Amino acid sequence: MKVSVLFSGGKDSALSAVMLSRFFRVELVTCSFELLDNWKQAEKVAQELELPFYVLTLHREILEQAAEQTIRDGFPNNGIKYIHQKALEEIAKKEQIIADGIRRNDRVPKLSLSEVMRLEDKFKVHYIQPLLGYSRKTINLLIERYFIIKEYTSDSFIGAEYEFELRELIQKKYGIKKVQEIFPQDHTHSIVIKAKI
């Protein structure tokens, strides 16, 4: 049984993938709008985890819609959730079992239970969220034990999360000031440097 895990190279999606790898043949999937080559960060982590990896190119229109939503809202949450939903749908079109790294206390880009069930019904897919039953505290316990990670702010490093191409497009269209206005300066991401598992 193969599961395709939406993967950013960050600690949550990495832990999610490793958890699933006991029961499934795991394949890591990083989405790209071909605006940046930030997917390469995820590829490096995939190599460290020794798991197969591919890049799924998504239509630029999805990113444009997400950018418009973000500009309208003045904050990125709904735009990022929109990208995540579209990414799940694209993978669901061609795979039988899909997964991501959403945690119990995530607000973004967590789908509601009815959205989860609609996705599964519409695309006849199994959608697994292996970390949904874990608190942030418990996940940190596991991360500390099994990974070496680096934490960074969105300004200091470009990771493979959706946020970075969204920022890039908004910067191109509206300038860097708009990006600074909309995206929290102190928002941190993580990237897995080493797996100890």
Interface positions with its own copies (CB under 8 A) = 1, 19, 22-23, 97, 102, 104, 113, 116-117, 120, 126-135, 137-138, 141-142, 145-146
Ordered DSSP codes for 72-111: HHSSSHHHHHHHHHHHHHHHHHH-SEEE----TT--SSPP
Q: Given the complex with its own copies, which of 1 and 74 has the nearer CB atom?
A: 1
- Pick 66 or 98: Cβ nearer its own copies: 98
Kind of pairing, strands 147-153 and 188-195?
antiparallel
Q: Which is nearer to its own copies, 138 or 188 (CB)?
A: 138
- Please name the helix (run of DSSP H) or strand (run of DSSP E) that holds residue 40, with its range, or none: helix 39-49
CB 151 within 8 A of CB 187: no
For residue 126, give the H/E element and its range: strand 126-128
Amino acid identity, residue 192? V
> Nearest approach, Cβ of 115 to its own copies (angstroms)?
13
Question: Least distance from C-beta 128 to its own copies, angstroms?
Answer: 6
- Least distance in Å: CB of 18 to its own copies? 8
Cross-strand pairs, 151: 190
Nearest alpha carbon to residue 60 among 85, 32, 81, 24: 32
Give whichever of 176 and 197 is closer to its own copies, judged by the CB atom: 197
Toward its own copies, which CB reaches closer, 47 or 135? 135
CB of 16 to its own copies, least distance (A): 9
Residue 124: CB minimum distance to its own copies, A: 10
